[in-house]
Structure formats: C-alpha cells, structure tokens
Structure 1
C-alpha cells in the first residue's frame, strides 16, 4: 500500500502560512546583494572602462561567501549586546547583517570606479561579508522556525524570493543604469533592502532552544575527550561544542569517504562559477546593448532557471538525487560550448537566446539537485554550521579560479575560454558517477522504504 497523500489544495495551503510567506521576502533580502557584487558589478566596471583583467580579480570578492563557515559558529551560538535581548538571537543577527548590506550598497552608489576603484572593492567585500553572514542566520532561522514537514515549503519560497531578487539586481539594475545611471541603480538596490529589514521586524523569533539529546551527548563526550574530565574554561568548551563537534561528527559519520564528498562539493560548480564572472563583459564586448542583455540574459534567463529548478525537483522525486546529480554536472559543463560557438558569431540574438536558455535550464536543474544533495549530508544537530561549511566550500574553488578568467580571455579570447571552462566541468561529472555508483543501493533502499506504509 502507498501512504495516503494530501490533496493538491491541502498541499498548497502551506504556502499561506505567515512564516512560509516570510521566507519569500528573506529570499529577496538574501539574493539582492549577490549580483551587485558579482555580474552586475562587472558590467558597471566594464562600462566605466576598467580592464577585463582587473574585472576578473573582482571575483575574489565572492570568496567571502566561501569562507563563511569560519564565523558561522559565532553567529550560530552567540548573541549581540542589547539587540539579542530585544529581538532574539536570530532576528538580531539578521537585522545587523541587512543594515550592513544597505550601508555598503549606498556607499558604492556614491563612488566613481574610475577615481576610487580600491574603495569600490573594499565596499564590495563589506557587502559580501554582511550578505554571507545573513545567509548563515537565515538558514538557521528557516530550520528552527517551523516543523520538519514544512521545510520543503520554506525552502521553495526562499528560492523563489532569491530568484526574484536576482532578476531585480540583474535586469533591474541594468535597466536603471541604462536609462538613469549606475549611481541610481545601486542607490535603488540599497533602498530595496528595506524589504528584508521590515520582514525581520515583523516575523517572530523561532524557538531555537529545543533540546537535541543526541547532539548534547555527542558534544559532552568530545568535550571530555579533548579537554579532559572536570571543569573547563567557557571559551575552550564553547569552541569544542560549537566549532569542533560539527566537523568531528561529519568525519566520524562518513569516515574516509568524507574527503571524497568534500572534494565533490568543492568542484561541482567550478564550471558554472568560472564562466559567470565573464558573462556580462562577454555580452558587452560582443556588441549587445545593456537593454538586450537585460531582456534576454536576465528576464528570459529567469524563466528558464525556474523551469530548470522545477525539472530538477521533479527528477529528484522520480529518480532520487544521484542520477540527476550526474545529469546536472554534465549539462552545466556542456552548455559552455554554446557560448564558445556564440563567440564566433558576433551579436546574434537567436544564438544568445539559445545559449542562455540551455545555460539557465542546466543551472536550475543542477542547483536544485545539488541543494537536495547537500541537505542529505547534514546532521540535524549541527545544521547551520555544517550547511555553512558545504555552501562555502561549493563556491571556493570556482571563485578562486574565476579570478584568472580575465587573464585567460585577454590572452586567448572568449572562444578558448569557454572551451576551457567546459573541460573544467569534467572532473565533477566523473566524481558524480562514482558517488552514484557507491550510493545507488542505499538510495534504492530509501525509496523503497518510503513506499511502505508508515508503522503504527
């Protein structure tokens, strides 16, 4: 027999819950600053005549997102003076992060990159740090705010809000820059951070003090192992519990296979990220206007990304995680060859639409499947810190490699660059195949168990 399923009406009703709706606006707050220090920033710099080599180095601003696991345990366990007592630990950290983002974007809107490029980069790092911190806290809030059965709806609304924000910060900022100025564009984005700030003030603080017996026992055991039995200093005990235990637990649970998993997490998106930093400069150098980039690259790309995400989620339900994981890695690498072909054609709108469609559908599939994969690696006792580790690691190699993308383009040209980026995706495909081969029996067993009648 199959488990009794909810009707479509009952399933969709969950999206009317206040906390689920709130995740849509938190998604906007999280997604808004990302492109403003990534592809939109590169378009701004290129429009002001900054060299492609220098633009390539701007990708290193994004490394901040890749090392957020370093300070995630602090955010996850410590409160802020005064604010935490008033708002609670999660909401106070979210608010401070949002205010830092808004200030950084406002300050960037007041600067001419031709006159103060180092200041632009410094403010970009500030925005990236505050944005990465906000990501850590919102992940913790999402997990603690509702029961496990509503986590899928919370994640879906968050991703939807995030994608809308990417559209605003991408196409929206380009439109404003085209018809007003880059200063007005960044000032508008700073003001839009008010959406997230208002949401933070309206939502309630989650109950994040629920006892997790297994985690407490595990932490106590390792505090005694590392520090010895007896009385321990508060700082040293906190370090073992909040910083060491999440990593110890992951390696103890997975053994030597943990190294394989971490390598795979690090290389899965290398091809996607390395290509992304040069996308807007490529379109501009090819002869497309900012208006055309916004229409085809952003608006049309948004629809294709959401379609890909839907397909990816459906594939996970139908086939499990591992086989779609291989498909996503292969598609992301292969679509770079379409951009290599476009580089030989010039400003051809039809081929631009084809390349962007394939690229965004592939990205949507791979991202939704990869998020499901990362979630399967997390222990619920250390969700925030472990997820911060995985989400940081998944961008670090790609961000580092993309810093040299401008040098490759200047030396070899765009066609060779995109071919090289496609080749960079091959190791992820091969390792995905190995992970599928190793885990296929376990995944089949889990799918079979889900089809059985729930006990009792």
Structure 2
C-alpha cells in the first residue's frame, strides 16, 4: 500500500507540468486562450500509450525484473526531460515548448503504464479498491506539488527554476523503484512480441460488454476533465493572483481530495463498485456545476474555497472508484497492455476533447461553458445500467 501511494505521487508529478503550470506560464507570457486550449494536444501520448505497452509486457531488462527495470530507466529519462522543458520560452518558441512538452508527456505516459501494471500485479483482488484510493491520493499530491507549489514558487524564482526543481524531484522516484519488490509474473505471460500485441486485445474484446466498457471509460469523467482543463485561465480571468490560486485551489483543496480518496476507498468496500460509481459520478457532475455559481459570484475567496472543496472531494471519490473499475477489467497476463488501453481511453477527454475547450469557453462564456461540462457527464452514468447484472 505504501508503494502504491508513492508510485501514485511520481505518476501524478509530471502531469500538470504540461497542463495547468504550463498554461499559467503561457498566459503570463501573453499567449491567447485558443492556443492554450490547443496545447492539450501535447498530451496525445496519454491516449496512445497502449501502442507501445506490449513492449513492457514482452521484454524485461537485465536488472530489477520485468516491471522495475523499465520503470527505473523511464523515471531517470523523464527527470531530464522535465528540466529541459524549463529552458524553452513560450513567448518566442511555442513550437519548441510543444516538442519539449510532448517528450515529457511520452515518458510520463510510459511511466504510467509501468506503475499501473505494477500496482495491479502486486495487490490482491480485494485490495484493488483501497490500493486505488491510496494511489489516487499520491497522484493528487504529486499534482499539488508541481502545480500549486509550482505556481507559488514561480512568483519568487520564475518558471524556469521551478521546472529544474521538478526534474530533481522526479529523479528521486528511483529510490522508491529500488525499494519496491518485483511482483510475481502471472502464468502464461507472452513469450513473443506478436503474442504480446494480439492476445491482450483478443482476450478483452471477446467479452460480451467490451465495447460498452470502453464507452463508459471514455465518458465517465469527460465533463469533469473538460472543466478542469480550463479552470486555471478561469481563475486568472476572475482576478485571483497566482499565489491565491496556489494556496486555495491547490493547497486548501488538497485536503478535500485526500478525504475524498480515503472515503472513496472505504465506501467501495462497503457499498460495492457499482453503487460507488453511480453516487460518485453524480457528485462529480454537481461539483462541475458549482463553477457556474463561482462565475456569477466573481472574485470571492470564500466562494472559491467552497467550490474547490466540493470539486476536489468528488474528484477524489470518483477517481478512486474509476481506477478500481479499470483494474478489475484487466487480465494479469497482459496487465500493461490492457490497462494502458483502458487508461488511454480515459485520457482522450483530457487531450482531444479538451483541445477546443478554450474556443468553447470564449463562445459560451464561463457560466455556459461549465454548465455544458456538467450536462455532458450524464451519458457515462447511463451506461452503468448495462453493467448492473455483473458489476452490482
């Protein structure tokens, strides 16, 4: 469980370095909202990571085993890429920023493949829900440190130095990788690359509800993801300073996320996965609608605290159940590939669907945009009815 938490931390650490922190740097450098929205496309590796995941199922490096050997190599390369991203100027070299951010996203997605496979193979079936909640809390802590802490530090030392520090922090993940124990490989792991590529997909798509499972994963958090992609420009446009955003949105909201993740892990054990996905999904949609109220209130710190607390609490609940659901749908023989396929679909809203959110916000205005994001979450909830006979 401790390894699940710490690996979650290093998995979440790079995500917002190409997301909200980079958005704040670009906005401060004078980049327009439409371009900031299009920069979501640098996260394409998160949606296509199943394409190279079979390599991690098939091959093992000479040292540290099938999972940890690759993980150590990827983490060190990722640390260097993060530090390098800080040396590119968004105002004068936007294409250079895009390429550097794309490299960070590719290595970060590769790390996610390995960490997800490690957690799935290391925990027993009954431990997946609680392990997912601890992983989510670690993930959120990593995001907090690089986004909230990064924003506060940027006011004092600048963005370039922030990225250098984040690169050093990422390198420390090697300590956890060396400390963790290699999980035992399941019987029947692929022995050829062709088998590693073909068998995971054949095994999964032979299931009766395979396409419905993929649709659910694509849609369950789509509204929440679209809304969160534009919250940073939203807060800045309301007049909040970077320090206020870092302190309230990231630090204050962090404790609500921790509570949501832990409560979610317990409730999954008590209520079951089906009821948890329903309840947490409804709360996610309501929390997204809360941003409509904040848009009407304007610059109000108490309103910001209330909306952020509710949003982070529901996000912690929903993500814990969502991650546990995806883990439960994978075969231990092909964990890296199947989990990468499912989590890639989860990343599509963050990258492809989120890309035009800047244009949507300019067209609808902030209240209309967040209301649209709340309503778009409904189809994913309705798909859950299809799973009741085997998930409830």
User: Contact between 1:170 and 1:298, CA under 8 Å: does it hold in 2?
Assistant: yes
Deviation at 1:160, TM superposition (A): 3.4
Give 1:17's aligned residue: none
Q: Label 1:134 to 1:354 Cα distance change in 2 as closer, same or farther (>3 A).
A: same
Deviation at 1:313, TM superposition (A): 2.0
Counterpart among 118, 127, 133 of residue 141 in structure 1 = 118
Q: Aligned runs of 1:365-380 on 2, under 5 Å? A: 365-380=317-332
Deviation at 1:54, TM superposition (A): 0.4
SS at match of 1:369: helix
Deviation at 1:33, TM superposition (A): 0.3
TM-score by length of 2: 0.93
Q: Label 1:323 to 1:148 Cα distance change in 2 as closer, same or farther (>3 A).
A: closer
2-structure distance, mates of 1:151, 1:430: 24
User: Contact between 1:65 and 1:129, CA under 8 Å: does it hold in 2?
Assistant: yes
Q: Label 1:302 to 1:411 Cα distance change in 2 as closer, same or farther (>3 A).
A: same
1-structure distance, mates of 2:193, 2:125: 27
Counterpart among 35, 43, 57 of residue 24 in structure 2 = 43
Deviation at 1:411, TM superposition (A): 2.3
Q: What's the CA shift string for 1:321-366, capped at 9, x where partnerless?
A: 1122112222212222211121122111111111111111111111
Give 2:14's aligned residue: 33
Give 1:326's aligned residue: 278
Question: Mean Cα displacement is larger for which, 295-304 or 100-109?
Answer: 100-109
TM-score by length of 1: 0.81
Q: What's the CA shift string for 1:290-322, capped at 9, x where partnerless?
A: 111111100111111111122222222222111
2-structure distance, mates of 1:312, 1:142: 18
Q: Label 1:63 to 1:344 Cα distance change in 2 as closer, same or farther (>3 A).
A: same
Deviation at 1:114, TM superposition (A): 0.5
Q: Aligned runs of 1:78-227 on 2, under 5 Å? A: 78-79=59-60, 84-145=61-122, 155=132, 157-208=134-185, 210=186, 212=187, 215=188
Question: Mean Cα displacement is larger for which, 375-384 or 266-275?
Answer: 375-384
Deviation at 1:149, TM superposition (A): 6.9
1-structure distance, mates of 2:149, 2:359: 29
Q: Label 1:332 to 1:156 Cα distance change in 2 as closer, same or farther (>3 A).
A: closer
1-structure distance, mates of 2:124, 2:268: 22
Q: What's the CA shift string for 1:346-394, capped at 9, x where partnerless?
A: 1111111111111111111111111222222222332222111111111
User: Contact between 1:95 and 1:197, CA under 8 Å: does it hold in 2?
Assistant: yes
Q: State whether structure 2 residue 282 is matched by structure 1 residue 351.
A: no
Unaligned regions of 5+ residues in structure 1, if any? 1-19, 220-233, 444-456
Q: Label 1:371 to 1:153 Cα distance change in 2 as closer, same or farther (>3 A).
A: closer
2-structure distance, mates of 1:123, 1:328: 36
1-structure distance, mates of 2:141, 2:250: 11
User: Contact between 2:264 and 2:316, CA under 8 Å: does it hold in 1?
Assistant: yes
2-structure distance, mates of 1:397, 1:342: 23
1-structure distance, mates of 2:122, 2:213: 29
Q: Label 1:154 to 1:411 Cα distance change in 2 as closer, same or farther (>3 A).
A: closer
User: Contact between 1:145 and 1:206, CA under 8 Å: does it hold in 2?
Assistant: yes
Q: Which has the higher contact order (CA 8 A, sep 6+)?
A: 2
CA RMSD of aligned residues (A): 2.1
Q: What's the CA shift string for 1:155-201, capped at 9, x where partnerless?
A: 45533332221111121101110121111111110111121023334
Q: Label 1:146 to 1:394 Cα distance change in 2 as closer, same or farther (>3 A).
A: closer
Q: State whether structure 2 residue 333 is matched by structure 1 residue 391.
A: no
Q: What's the CA shift string for 1:89-132, capped at 9, x where partnerless?
A: 32231122112211221111112110111111111110111011
SS at match of 2:240: coil
User: Contact between 1:104 and 1:127, CA under 8 Å: does it hold in 2?
Assistant: yes
Q: Label 1:363 to 1:154 Cα distance change in 2 as closer, same or farther (>3 A).
A: closer
Counterpart among 197, 200, 207 of residue 243 in structure 1 = 197
Question: Mean Cα displacement is larger for which, 408-417 or 261-270?
Answer: 408-417
Q: Label 1:203 to 1:368 Cα distance change in 2 as closer, same or farther (>3 A).
A: closer
SS at match of 1:69: helix
Give 2:51's aligned residue: 70
1-structure distance, mates of 2:105, 2:385: 34
Q: Label 1:182 to 1:206 Cα distance change in 2 as closer, same or farther (>3 A).
A: same
2-structure distance, mates of 1:244, 1:417: 41
User: Contact between 1:39 and 1:276, CA under 8 Å: does it hold in 2?
Assistant: no
Q: Label 1:400 to 1:110 Cα distance change in 2 as closer, same or farther (>3 A).
A: same
Counterpart among 394, 399, 404 of residue 356 in structure 2 = 404
User: Contact between 1:333 and 1:425, CA under 8 Å: does it hold in 2?
Assistant: yes
